[in-house]
Structure 1
Amino acid sequence: MRVLTLSTLFPDETRPNFGVFVEQQTLGLAAHAGVELRVVAPRGLPPWPLTRHPHYRALATLPPREMWRGLDVLRPRFTALPATAGRFHAAALARALVPVLDRLRADFAFDVIDASFFFPDGLAAVALGARYGVPVSIKARGADIHHWGRARATAAQVRRAGQGADGLLAVSAAMRDDMAALGMPRDRIRVHHTGVDLDRFAPADRAALKRELGVPGPLVVSVGALIPRKGHDVVIEAVADLPGVTLAIAGEGAERAALERLIVERGVGDRVRLLGSVPHADLPRWLAAADATALASTSEGLANAWIESLACGTPIVIPDAGGAREVVTDADAGRIVARTPTAFASAIGALIADPPPRAATRRHAERFTWAANTAALHAHLSRLIADHRRS
């Protein structure tokens, strides 16, 4: 099986934490017996001279092709026009990829296109699948459905991609429902859970880790970009009402200044740490040190941070968003609560006062393995290829 993995959500040297779960899924599939795989990880950049802006400068200098952790990765550019709400991204991506894939097919006649994000990747993949006569799979992860699938400028494009793909993947059953509600064919949607490295993300000596990290008492960790959707303000407000509790937030983004102001306003500068972008390899010690992980997202598919926390034996506090009820199936996994500071403070306080057994918490993560993820993806793509050849 020759697989072309297409993903704008893929790490590079300027953004090593960007799409690490796509990277891990791709590495697993590439290692499967009988699979040859190439990665196309396009870079959306504005027209020159905007590429000279500090926000884009490093991304613009990435090599067009490189070996990334053993994967052959192409990084072509496509034009992402500013101030257009993404309306033209998918068409621009498809145009940019035609000459790239024409050349690639000369020595790698891929059997299937595996698009690992829905927008703009999915719509471009459908057009390219038609050009090259191969089936297309698109995976929905979260914001690609909840934002792009509902935004006025792009909703119709997302729906059209879902209707045109040969197969669809959703990170949770809740995501499958959301996709069907947008008008995508439910019978083509397969739930495909994320995975977690159970060797790296594992319980450790919590007290020793807290000493190492300089945390004097109970610790709450939150992992996610500093953007409004992640709800870090809700967790900060909750921890402000829990004397002696430290909150560490791993992530970076445009809301940093607003969160810093809130920390000052609530007088918790000594107890709330904005860690910035923490390398994925360093997350296990923070999660294993924590008494609870809290993330107050307005929407999610099925957050990797949830599963990684559980694998470390650390319960989670989250709203009823996305696949929350597929993960928190009993009190050992944590709490599903209203998205308010009061509800979060109550749940966090309860978990600190009466923590579940760490082994019982970890068991909730043990069904989310990368081996299972790889096996399910291989079976899904194999079926699409076989069905396409028969038809």
Structure 2
Amino acid sequence: MAAGRRPAGAQRAATVGDDRRPRPALPGQRRNQPAGQGRRGDDRRGPGTVRGAGAGRRRDRWNRAGHGRLALQSADVEHRAGHSPECRGAGRPGADAGAHAGDPRAGRRARGLSRPLLVSRPRRLQLLGFTKLYPNAEQPRHGLFVEARLRRLARRPAVDLRIVAPVPWFPLRHRRFGRYAAFARVPRCEQRHGIAVSHPRFLSLPAGDMSLAPLLMAASVAGHVRRLVAEMPSAPVIDAHFLYPDGVAALLLGRRFGLPVVMTARGNDVTLWPRYRGPGRWIRWALTHCARVVSVSESLRARLIELGAEPQRVVTLRNGVDLDQFRPPVGAGRASSGGPRLLAVGHLIERKNHAAAIRALPLLPGAELTIIGSGPLRGELESLARRLGLAGRVHFAGALPPEELPAHYAAADALLLPSRHEGMANVMLESLACATPVVAFDVEGVREIIRVPEAGRIVEQRSPEALAAAVRRLLAAPPRREDTRRYAETLGWEPVIDELEVLLRDVAAAAA
């Protein structure tokens, strides 16, 4: 059946709030100018365009249900991959997906008929989470910080949430192809904590112009998103995480299907990607055309405004911490003998700057450092420890599952956070919840958490010497464990999710 043709006998929904105004231009595109028709060589045109995305009138809102013409043509990879039936009709537990036996509405929706209006039923918030930073069966620790927020949002009694977590397309599953083969083994659909998660494939260029990334992602998954939206009882709000390329791709899809998009900025999507010409132009365009932007820290919010976001549309909602999972284990405590026990947690990458923690250790006699995490710099960091004569005092524990972290946090005298950049470091919150103070470089989000003595110390001069001096000051007058835990109890998830739900409902109401 053609993409723009309704099923036989289908009833066309009434147009609600049909917006006849021209759509805002894509990066570098003049208003009212069709995408792809700019002057040759014009540097203002942006990295790429989607056919028809910036021209003509906004289509009828029925397009949101998938009955309109699809300008974002699905890439071959999506059709070859096929649409797994497990993705369809699988919502959150208790949500009416219209697939229950004996439901008289199920047959009507299956035939494409309009859903009867139930005035007496309270309005449910329909959400479509969109991000490639999400755990899956092959990568269970990938994007846990995003899942943590979405899981709590899905628990709300009047929220229906589905997740679209695209993964790069790769044709071979053999393990000798490393992480690329892992992408091929990711299931098309799965249930995680009662939430339906789909993993459509998208074309990703291993090398080349990153300006094409959001276009390829949006075009590859458009057909899958159209089918999901068609199955939902009302038009969802797209909740996109990470500005580039995920957020930009989500906005391209939202513009096509008439759906509002809320983007969450989390770190180097604000501090790093805007430095590159193509991605920077896409990000600036997205910040001015999405419904709202959520920042996880006030310092990131200031940068977003510098990039062109309107201040009234940028909201700061910090990350929270699971106070039940992260707490001092029964009987846990710091060692009563020996030197200080220090801890660093994070990927072994340049941005996390674990080398500064290792270089600070010779200035802290008797101290030992445990580094939890994996990454490409492990060999280099191990060599650094050997060169400094610290091989017996620096311990590499590798990546650990979240359930094993509380014991390590609670056993440490301090958590070290020498990162060059952060959005809102979750390890700070986890450490405080386990009653262990933090010594951190003065980067994004740190001052918003370490604002009382019980939380730790801030290192303004980002050097190993300054880090060691701050550790000595903390150990000379350590806070009481119960005071640190009591402060952490103000950093839980519930107040954050309360504000987030209000924001998303406001966006949904404005788009209705």
- Deviation at 1:48? 7.1
- Aligned match of 2:448: 326
- Aligned match of 2:217: 93
Unmatched tracts of structure 2, length 5 or more: 1-124
1:44 pairs with 133, 153, 168, which one?
168
Tell me whether 1:32 sits opposite 2:156 in the alignment: yes
Structure 1: distance between partners of 2:331 and 2:390: 23
- Aligned match of 1:248: 370
- Aligned match of 1:236: 358
SS at match of 1:105: helix
Between 200-209 and 17-26, the greater mean CA deviation after superposition: 200-209
What does the per-residue CA deviation read over 1:336-366, in whole Å, with 9 as the maximum and x for residues that have no partner?
1121110111111222232111222223322
- Aligned match of 1:357: 480
| Counterpart residue type for residue 324 of structure 1 | V
Structure 1: distance between partners of 2:500 and 2:246: 18
- Aligned match of 1:17: 141
Cα 1:287–1:110 shift into 2, 3 Å:
farther
Tell me whether 1:380 sits opposite 2:495 in the alignment: no
1:270 pairs with 369, 382, 392, which one?
392
- Aligned match of 1:316: 438
SS at match of 1:193: coil
Cα 1:282–1:169 shift into 2, 3 Å:
same
User: Taking structure 1 as the reference length, what is the TM-score of the superposition?
Assistant: 0.94
1:170-249 pair list within 5 angstroms: 170-204=295-329, 217-249=339-371
SS at match of 1:80: coil
Tell me whether 1:289 sits opposite 2:414 in the alignment: no
Tell me whether 1:348 sits opposite 2:475 in the alignment: no
- Deviation at 1:206? 7.6
Structure 1: distance between partners of 2:274 and 2:331: 41
Structure 2: distance between partners of 1:47 and 1:122: 26
The answer as to whether partners of 1:46 and 1:82 remain within 8 angstroms in 2 is no
Between 52-61 and 90-99, the greater mean CA deviation after superposition: 52-61
Structure 2: distance between partners of 1:181 and 1:256: 36
- Aligned match of 2:84: none
Identity of aligned residues (%): 39
- Aligned match of 2:291: 166
Structure 1: distance between partners of 2:142 and 2:420: 20
Cα 1:2–1:170 shift into 2, 3 Å:
same
Cα 1:208–1:367 shift into 2, 3 Å:
closer
- Aligned match of 1:129: 254
Structure 1: distance between partners of 2:300 and 2:278: 21
What does the per-residue CA deviation read over 1:348-387, in whole Å, with 9 as the maximum and x for residues that have no partner?
1222232111222223322221212221211110000111
The answer as to whether partners of 2:332 and 2:407 remain within 8 angstroms in 1 is no
Structure 2: distance between partners of 1:178 and 1:223: 26
SS at match of 2:357: helix
Structure with more relative contact order (C-alpha pairs < 8 Å, separation 6 or more): 1
Structure 2: distance between partners of 1:206 and 1:297: 31
Tell me whether 1:280 sits opposite 2:405 in the alignment: no
What does the per-residue CA deviation read over 1:168-199, in whole Å, with 9 as the maximum and x for residues that have no partner?
10001111001111112121000111111112
The answer as to whether partners of 2:297 and 2:445 remain within 8 angstroms in 1 is yes
The answer as to whether partners of 2:129 and 2:162 remain within 8 angstroms in 1 is yes
| Counterpart residue type for residue 387 of structure 2 | E
The answer as to whether partners of 2:165 and 2:199 remain within 8 angstroms in 1 is yes
* Count of residue correspondences: 386
SS at match of 1:115: strand
SS at match of 2:244: coil
SS at match of 1:39: strand
- Aligned match of 1:74: 198
- Deviation at 1:59? 2.0
SS at match of 1:12: coil
SS at match of 1:376: helix
- Deviation at 1:38? 0.4
Structure 2: distance between partners of 1:303 and 1:230: 10
The answer as to whether partners of 1:172 and 1:323 remain within 8 angstroms in 2 is yes
Structure 2: distance between partners of 1:207 and 1:270: 24
- Aligned match of 1:366: 489
Structure 2: distance between partners of 1:129 and 1:55: 30
The answer as to whether partners of 1:291 and 1:351 remain within 8 angstroms in 2 is no
SS at match of 1:183: coil
Cα 1:130–1:146 shift into 2, 3 Å:
same
Structure 2: distance between partners of 1:60 and 1:179: 35
- Deviation at 1:216? 5.0
SS at match of 1:332: helix
Between 104-113 and 72-81, the greater mean CA deviation after superposition: 104-113
- Aligned match of 1:102: 226
Structure 2: distance between partners of 1:206 and 1:319: 31
Structure 2: distance between partners of 1:388 and 1:308: 37
Structure 1: distance between partners of 2:397 and 2:469: 24
- Deviation at 1:46? 5.9
SS at match of 1:128: helix
What does the per-residue CA deviation read over 1:243-296, in whole Å, with 9 as the maximum and x for residues that have no partner?
211111111111111101101111111111111111111111111111000011
The CA RMSD over aligned residues, in Å, is 2.0
Structure 1: distance between partners of 2:486 and 2:203: 45
- Deviation at 1:205? 6.4
Unmatched tracts of structure 1, length 5 or more: none
